Structure 1
Amino acid sequence: MRLIALASLAFAVAAPALAASPFDGTWKGDTSSAKLPTKPDVILIKDGTYLCSSCVPVFKVKTDGAFHPVANHPYLDEASVKLVDARTVAETDRGKGKVAYTSLTRVSADGKSQTIEWTDVGPDGKTIKGTNTQVRVAPAPAGAHAASGSWRTTKVSNVSDAALTMMLTLTPTSFAMKTPAGYSFDAPLGGKPVPVVGDPSNVMAAVRKVDDRTVVETDTRAGEVINIYTYNALPDGKTIRVTSENRKQGTTTTYLLKRQ
């Protein structure tokens, strides 16, 4: 998630100030408002390997705690998975030699739920954190680690402000956003895609204005659509509804941004 410096209003002698758009300002995501995807994560940890068959691309490495190559992933090139105990799994991912992501998965004693405490490292080196709570929707296969099976995320909590906060600016010709985590873009409305600054996988953002309260951002990588974000500024002037379509995963998430 993202942020951009709020533009100052321009003034002219004997002329009114330019009106700010309903998007202009600092916003923070409300995790309690999120409607999360129902599509489950499907994991198999057995016979010395970790397999995420629901991941795009499919993710498979040994569980010996050493780093192993990961092919065709846009954000990492090697990963380490360690079985801490019968109900706990630790993962560390690296891209170009730098830690990009870590997680610690803890399965409940009854095996019906688990928490994933994660950290993500932004382009400026700032670490953001959060916790995902998941419920089991399919059992672990016989002989597999307790974290195996199908899991649906029901709650996201304890997320760092840097991951939730963004600043937006809409002008008659462009839409800009920036986050404290180091991601930003300033795209022409209806124009060619521009690079998302800070994204190591070369994501490009194109923006179109649907109406005065609706903006659509389409993110692509190498010409392929990755995500589509629809920003709808609600009439209260204090809320933006965001619909995020992950085209790679085939999932949709909605949440609210609150004006700060």
Structure 2
Amino acid sequence: MSKLMPCIALLLATTSPAYAKDVFTGTWKSDVNASVPSTKPSVVLLADGLYTCSTCVPVLKVAADGAFHPVVGSAYYDEMAVTVVDPAIVKRATRKGGKLVGETTATLSADGNTMTTAFNDLTALNGIPVTGTGVSTRVTSGPAGSHASSGSWRQTSEGQVSDSGLVFTLAQVGRVVTYSTPTGISYVATTGGPAVAVVGDPGWTTVSLKQSGLNTLHETDYFDGKIIGKYVMTVSADGKKMTMDANDIKYGRTSTLVAYKQ
């Protein structure tokens, strides 16, 4: 979280820790229906036995033969398998160190313009999975002769996500903020202080926080010293709703997330 903190806000946050605690402290749950996903489309091509995702990080080029093949450049997986089930269904699976860490099944609608993707994310180091579905709408079609899943797709909604992927806990006392999730991700950082280690996420190594007001925190995420994301979290005046403006620098996407205090 990044911040420019005015002197008055700093004074209030330092001298009134009880107020700061009341604003952010608690368990929050993201509302997928109230959130606004990125409008940047994903671009995939499945043709001539090869699956290519040009907007993925890293860019993916994997033989679509159902077997696992090496993938370089991801902190979360080192192998991927792509299986064409039929003209409307494509499955992907990822492994790291020989262990299954993710599965997705993409299913096209009858008219080929909507894709529903069911996912099972097993990357959490504590073993708790995150499951759910996402819905995307076609922007452009793939070239002639390619699989119907080819083309560019814009995510329109997340149909359902398990609580393990939606719930997070914050606690702020003075300038010290503690963050944790059911999947084992956590950090303890001081607003205006140096970047600190993140536990439990191999793709997110450090984080720094700043505070621009009693109700607003700014977070900057890093991977091996490189900025991968910036987030501005603002709590409503009644303390019940949090709006997060997310700038996913790694993937070049912006979105707005909404969470409610439980």
Matches within 5 A, 1:190-229: 190-201=192-203, 203-229=205-231
CA deviation after TM superposition for structure 1 residue 212, in Å: 0.5
Distance (Å, rounded) in 2 between the aligned partners of 1:202 and 1:169: 20
Aligned to 1:101: 102
- What amino acid does structure 2 have at the position aligned with 1:112? N
Aligned to 2:157: 155
Could you say which structure has the greater relative contact order, defined with CA pairs below 8 angstroms and 6 or more residues apart? 2
- What amino acid does structure 1 have at the position aligned with 2:166? L
Aligned to 1:74: 75
Aligned to 2:55: 54
CA deviation after TM superposition for structure 1 residue 96, in Å: 2.2
When residues 202 and 154 of structure 1 are mapped into structure 2, their CA distance, relative to the original with a 3 A threshold, is closer
Cα contact 2:17–2:174 (8 A) shared by 1? no
Distance (Å, rounded) in 1 between the aligned partners of 2:44 and 2:198: 31
Secondary structure, in 3 states, of the residue corresponding to 1:56? coil
**Out of 136, 139, 146, which is 1:137 matched to?**
139
CA deviation after TM superposition for structure 1 residue 202, in Å: 5.0
- What amino acid does structure 2 have at the position aligned with 1:23? F
Aligned to 1:178: 180
Gaps of 5+ in 2: 1-15
Q: Which moved more, 1:202-211 or 1:107-116?
A: 202-211
- What amino acid does structure 2 have at the position aligned with 1:91? R
Distance (Å, rounded) in 2 between the aligned partners of 1:125 and 1:56: 24
Q: Percent identity between the aligned chains?
A: 38
Secondary structure, in 3 states, of the residue corresponding to 1:64? coil
CA deviation after TM superposition for structure 1 residue 173, in Å: 2.3
Higher helix proportion:
2
TM-score calculated relative to the size of structure 2:
0.90
- What amino acid does structure 2 have at the position aligned with 1:196? V
CA deviation after TM superposition for structure 1 residue 190, in Å: 1.3
TM-score calculated relative to the size of structure 1:
0.91
Cα contact 2:235–2:243 (8 A) shared by 1? yes
- What amino acid does structure 2 have at the position aligned with 1:106? T
Distance (Å, rounded) in 2 between the aligned partners of 1:82 and 1:208: 45
Aligned to 1:9: none
Distance (Å, rounded) in 2 between the aligned partners of 1:45 and 1:28: 36
Cα contact 1:21–1:171 (8 A) shared by 2? no
Given the alignment of the two structures, is residue 36 of structure 1 paired with residue 60 of structure 2, yes or no? no
Secondary structure, in 3 states, of the residue corresponding to 1:32? coil
CA deviation after TM superposition for structure 1 residue 97, in Å: 2.0
Distance (Å, rounded) in 1 between the aligned partners of 2:168 and 2:233: 13
CA deviation after TM superposition for structure 1 residue 17, in Å: 9.7
CA deviation after TM superposition for structure 1 residue 64, in Å: 0.5
Distance (Å, rounded) in 1 between the aligned partners of 2:46 and 2:231: 34
Given the alignment of the two structures, is residue 236 of structure 1 paired with residue 238 of structure 2, yes or no? yes
CA deviation after TM superposition for structure 1 residue 192, in Å: 1.5
Cα contact 1:93–1:101 (8 A) shared by 2? yes
- What amino acid does structure 1 have at the position aligned with 2:105? L
CA deviation after TM superposition for structure 1 residue 179, in Å: 0.6
Given the alignment of the two structures, is residue 253 of structure 1 paired with residue 251 of structure 2, yes or no? no
CA deviation after TM superposition for structure 1 residue 163, in Å: 0.6
Distance (Å, rounded) in 2 between the aligned partners of 1:156 and 1:201: 22
Distance (Å, rounded) in 2 between the aligned partners of 1:150 and 1:202: 27
Q: Which moved more, 1:188-197 or 1:26-35?
A: 188-197
CA deviation after TM superposition for structure 1 residue 76, in Å: 1.0
Secondary structure, in 3 states, of the residue corresponding to 1:73? coil
When residues 123 and 17 of structure 1 are mapped into structure 2, their CA distance, relative to the original with a 3 A threshold, is closer
- What amino acid does structure 1 have at the position aligned with 2:128? K
Cα contact 1:107–1:115 (8 A) shared by 2? yes
Gaps of 5+ in 1: 1-15
When residues 101 and 190 of structure 1 are mapped into structure 2, their CA distance, relative to the original with a 3 A threshold, is same
Aligned to 1:8: none
CA deviation after TM superposition for structure 1 residue 158, in Å: 1.5
